[in-house]
Chains A and B, each alone.
Chain A
Amino acid sequence: MTTTTQDRSLLARLFGARETGLVLIILVLFLIMSFASPHFLTWTNMRAMTMAFSVEAIVVVGMTILLISGGIDLSVGSVTALAMVVAGLLFLNGVNPWVAALMAIAVCAGIGAVIGFFVTYVGLHHFIVTLAAMVIARGLCLLGTGGRPLGLFELPAGFKWIGIGSVGVIPVAIIIFVIVVAVFDFLLRRTTAFRLVYYTGSNEKAAAYSGIRTKRVIFLTTVLCSTLCGVAGIIYMARFGSAQPTFGVGMELNVIAAAVIGGASLSGGKGTIFGAILGAILLSVVSSSLALLNVSVYWQDIIRGSILLAAVTLDHYLVKRQAAGGRA
């Protein structure tokens, strides 16, 4: 009996408060918007809104896990674009699109491995290494395409299906998103392998002093993040029917903002997939609402930035209050 209360409060403490708050805020936004605009609470708008963030949310998953381990990845936008470009070029040169997609994802994993090598074995900071990777991957995209989008009109319908198809009324991209999120949320909450990510991010030295091979953990989370970028890039390609070398500029900021609003910390050890996805949903609902209310796009960035600042400020004070309470 004591154990069950223990469990509940363990989950509640690690995962509870933040998610509950975000769900409430999103519900309030829904309520306000459904009164403010007749177009908001329609199937078309809901579908468009979900489609808008469902692919990026896969990148959010990778970024959140990396943030929990104490790392960060600025190269996600470029690497996502690179997946498109590599798969697109291979396809145009006669490679089967599915094979091309797998090879492109492998290239992204390889970039993650290079970043991971410089971070763990050379000992550089994630921020600097991924900044370099961001620029290099973007350069590769432009080099491979001559700066122009690759039209992939010949893509077979079966391949495009993952980007624009649906099962019944539900778009495939959303199904993929739900599966990826559910799987990684479970892995992160409940499996020993991903628990090591929390230990490493919470206190790398204490993790090493607990026999955890922290370099391996950091290396693998870095590779995972880049690999998920590759997956996202392929779905984008299937959706657009083209490979766009300039796609995803600024994506890293959106993705990091979502994870942080959802409770991840830049100093590691904190965060959940569910929370980060709620962060992404919140940002998406806000963007969509502002568009429906005919607010200038220039205002949207200002408002999104302010939300990020507000979320982090609130978090800071909550943590400080907790710390003061715990001093007894």
Chain B
Amino acid sequence: MNPAPPLLQMTDIAKSFGAIRALRSGQLDLRAGEIHALAGENGAGKSTLMNILDGILRPDSGAIRIDGQPVQIDSPAMAQRLGIGFVHQEIALCADISVAENIFMSETAQSRRRLMGGADLIARAAEVLAPLAAIDPRLPAGLLSISQQQLVEIAKALTLECRILIFDEPTAALTEHEAQKLFTILRGLAARGIGIIYISHRMAEIFGICDRVTVMRDGQHIRTDRTADITPADVVNAMVGRKLDTLYPPKMQGTPGPEILRVAGLTDRRFQDVSFALHAGEILGFGGLIGAGRSEIARGLMRLEGAAKGRIWLHGQEVNLRDYADCIARGIVYLSEDRKGDGVFLDLPIAANIAALDLRRVAGRFGVINPAREAAQAQRIGGSLRLKAASMAHRVASLSGGNQQKVALAKLLAVQPKVIFLDEPTRGVDVGAKAEIHAILRGLADSGVGIAVISSELPELIGLCDRVLVVSEGRIVGGLSGPDMTETNIMTLAAPGALAKAGAMQ
């Protein structure tokens, strides 16, 4: 008479790393055929819980049951035998071997055959990839774009005979169109009775495709509900443990101030004829699909890559920017989208990170660094950003994602910039820190710093910016402000081929 036991049941899972309790009472139950969202801020214990399920970590205590049977998962290989597949957020493909060989890597490793399959492998890879994207399985994986690589990672998991599939923020690197295709596939998998655990920050996805949602905070299970029964506000409040009245700071009051930066006809390989002006007091957004050329425009403008041609005026004076060091000297700085890759020095102390852009500010005569001044600078700027760190001498690697991002921002603020371009300023940052960063950006804009924000999160663009320029295929195809800044308008302009449409709109 009892209903069948759930496909997966994790109860009272605890895990500590040294003195740090990453997980106190992790709990999750997953039914066959459901898409179950797992939400929580960074550090809430989601990854630890999932790594335990995948056998990467061993729990200190707690029980895992599959079909009601207790199991012990000692290794990822064991998890795979139990039918558990994990699509990690980090891409781990071998760049030099073909897509097909990447997809069937674990099969090859476990196969008894001595020779690699040839045509057969390629045909099977093509079959798995077909519903996801048009990717040639013979290409080396390293030649693919980030979003295509992410899709190959997903394809890899689909080839395993899984009953439980874990997806860790799978859409972070995907375009809207690719994400939609992925959702179709996920629904298909669920219909076949596979249980899917879907880790995501994005409320639209949690409520769009998931059946139930489990929220974690501080290593504990907070609540599990059917998405039909609750609202996104309930989930956000459960995640942060307090009521967030407004996620976004107020918009610019009155009219924009004088022009700070003007760009005309900026052109390089990846973008053409980019012209815009940035005014004091406003936050200017750059919207568009991933790969549309927004980051390339910012990096080209600052001479970080390529050899862009075009004219640039700073405070009405035409400038000729030689390289990025020259940009910094003039007060134009860039916050990279890839924090760990090129935003911060993970192994160096926080204070050394914050001093990196201009060491003269912490040095005395003859270029001798004054450690007291270096620490004081870090304290002052870190403090103004509410950077949470036990000591400015700690390595950046020891901080949470949100605090690492504050270090990356503090690095830029140390040179008192006039113009800041921020590329995905809140990617991988939890909800609380996100609101803080938004408030900081508004404060900077109010104080007269020119702020330009590139974001792939539409709600962020709309909530934070006063004006949004939409980039499609390397061109600015339109500008939106006030009530015209809606998700629909931005997406309409952003879609490839929108140039003609933009022409029609004008």
A residues near B (Cβ < 8 Å) are 2-7, 9-14, 190-193, 195-196, 198-199, 202-203, 205-213, 269-270, 321-328
Residues in B with CB closer than 8 Å to A323 are: 397
State which of B348, B366, B374 has its C-beta within 8 Å of the C-beta of A199. B348
- What are 27 A-to-B residue pairs whose CB atoms are below 8 Å? A3-B375, A3-B376, A6-B391, A7-B371, A7-B375, A9-B391, A9-B393, A10-B374, A10-B392, A190-B368, A202-B347, A203-B341, A203-B347, A205-B341, A205-B342, A206-B342, A207-B356, A209-B334, A209-B336, A209-B343, A211-B357, A269-B348, A322-B398, A323-B397, A325-B20, A327-B22, A328-B22
Q: Is the CB of B324 within 8 A of A269?
A: no
Q: Is the CB of A213 within 8 A of B323?
A: yes
State which of A196, A203, A270 has its C-beta within 8 Å of the C-beta of B342. A203
The list of the 10 closest CB pairs from A to B, nearest first, reads: A326-B398, A10-B393, A192-B359, A205-B342, A211-B325, A6-B375, A328-B20, A211-B328, A202-B345, A192-B367
State which of B19, B342, B348 has its C-beta within 8 Å of the C-beta of A208. B342
For the complex, give the distance between the alpha carbons of A270 and B395 in Å: 12
Q: Is the CB of A13 within 8 A of B336?
A: no
For the complex, give the distance between the alpha carbons of A328 and B388 in Å: 13
Q: Is the CB of A10 within 8 A of B18?
A: no
- Confirm or deny: B344 has a beta carbon within 8 angstroms of a beta carbon on chain A: yes
Residues in A with CB closer than 8 Å to B371 are: 7, 10-11, 190
Residues in B with CB closer than 8 Å to A324 are: 17-18
Residues in A with CB closer than 8 Å to B392 are: 6, 10
Residues in A with CB closer than 8 Å to B352 are: 195, 198-199
Number of B interface residues, CB 8 Å? 51
State which of A199, A209, A211, A327 has its C-beta within 8 Å of the C-beta of B17. A327
For the complex, give the distance between the alpha carbons of A13 and B395 in Å: 9
For the complex, give the distance between the alpha carbons of A195 and B351 in Å: 12
Q: Is the CB of A203 within 8 A of B345?
A: yes
Q: Is the CB of A326 within 8 A of B397?
A: yes
State which of A6, A14, A210 has its C-beta within 8 Å of the C-beta of B379. A6
- Confirm or deny: B209 has a beta carbon within 8 angstroms of a beta carbon on chain A: no
Q: A216 CB to closest chain B CB, in angstroms?
A: 10
- Confirm or deny: B327 has a beta carbon within 8 angstroms of a beta carbon on chain A: yes
Residues in B with CB closer than 8 Å to A325 are: 17-20, 398
Residues in A with CB closer than 8 Å to B379 are: 2-3, 6
Q: Is the CB of B341 within 8 A of A13?
A: no
For the complex, give the distance between the alpha carbons of A324 and B400 in Å: 13
* Nearest residue, chain A, Cβ from B358: A211
* Nearest residue, chain B, Cβ from A210: B356
Please indicate which of the listed interface residues A6, A196, A323, A325 has the most CB atoms of chain B within 10 Å of its own CB.
A6
Q: B362 CB to closest chain A CB, in angstroms?
A: 8
Decide yes or no: A13 and B349 within 8 Å by CB, A6-B375, A6-B393 being known contacts: yes
Residues in A with CB closer than 8 Å to B19 are: 325
Q: A212 CB to closest chain B CB, in angstroms?
A: 7
For the complex, give the distance between the alpha carbons of A292 and B360 in Å: 51
Residues in A with CB closer than 8 Å to B349 are: 10, 13-14
Q: Is the CB of B324 within 8 A of A192?
A: no
Q: Is the CB of A199 within 8 A of B356?
A: yes
Can you name 9 extra interface pairs (CB under 8 A) apart from A6-B351, A203-B345, A206-B336? A3-B376, A192-B367, A198-B348, A207-B345, A210-B328, A211-B325, A212-B325, A322-B398, A324-B18
Q: Is the CB of B369 within 8 A of A191?
A: yes
Number of residue pairs A-B, CB distance < 8 angstroms = 132
Q: Is the CB of A195 within 8 A of B369?
A: yes
B residues near A (Cβ < 8 Å) are 17-20, 22, 43, 304, 323-325, 327-329, 334, 336, 341-349, 351-352, 356-357, 359-360, 363, 366-369, 371-372, 374-376, 379, 391-395, 397-400, 411
State which of A9, A193, A213 has its C-beta within 8 Å of the C-beta of B325. A213
* Nearest residue, chain B, Cβ from A267: B347
Residues in A with CB closer than 8 Å to B359 are: 192, 195-196
Q: A306 CB to closest chain B CB, in angstroms?
A: 27
For the complex, give the distance between the alpha carbons of A270 and B345 in Å: 12
Q: Is the CB of B356 within 8 A of A13?
A: no
Residues in A with CB closer than 8 Å to B304 are: 208-209
Q: A258 CB to closest chain B CB, in angstroms?
A: 21
Q: Is the CB of B343 within 8 A of A13?
A: no
Residues in A with CB closer than 8 Å to B345 are: 198-199, 202-203, 206-207, 269
Q: A219 CB to closest chain B CB, in angstroms?
A: 16
For the complex, give the distance between the alpha carbons of A137 and B119 in Å: 50
Residues in A with CB closer than 8 Å to B399 are: 326
Q: Is the CB of A13 within 8 A of B393?
A: yes
Q: B300 CB to closest chain A CB, in angstroms?
A: 14
For the complex, give the distance between the alpha carbons of A324 and B376 in Å: 29
Q: Is the CB of A210 within 8 A of B411?
A: yes
Q: Is the CB of A211 within 8 A of B327?
A: yes
Q: Is the CB of A190 within 8 A of B20?
A: no
Q: B247 CB to closest chain A CB, in angstroms?
A: 25
Q: B285 CB to closest chain A CB, in angstroms?
A: 22
Q: Is the CB of A328 within 8 A of B395?
A: no
* Nearest residue, chain B, Cβ from A323: B397
Q: Is the CB of A10 within 8 A of B375?
A: yes
Q: Is the CB of B360 within 8 A of A192?
A: yes
For the complex, give the distance between the alpha carbons of A210 and B333 in Å: 9
Q: Is the CB of A328 within 8 A of B43?
A: yes
Q: B361 CB to closest chain A CB, in angstroms?
A: 10
Q: Is the CB of A206 within 8 A of B325?
A: no
Q: Is the CB of B17 within 8 A of A328?
A: yes
Residues in A with CB closer than 8 Å to B360 are: 192
* Nearest residue, chain B, Cβ from A7: B371
Decide yes or no: A3 and B372 within 8 Å by CB, A202-B348, A211-B324 being known contacts: yes
* Nearest residue, chain A, Cβ from B400: A328
For the complex, give the distance between the alpha carbons of A288 and B313 in Å: 67
State which of A191, A206, A270 has its C-beta within 8 Å of the C-beta of B368. A191
* Nearest residue, chain A, Cβ from B341: A205
Residues in A with CB closer than 8 Å to B20 are: 325, 327-328
Residues in A with CB closer than 8 Å to B334 are: 209
State which of B351, B357, B400 has its C-beta within 8 Å of the C-beta of A10. B351
Q: A203 CB to closest chain B CB, in angstroms?
A: 5
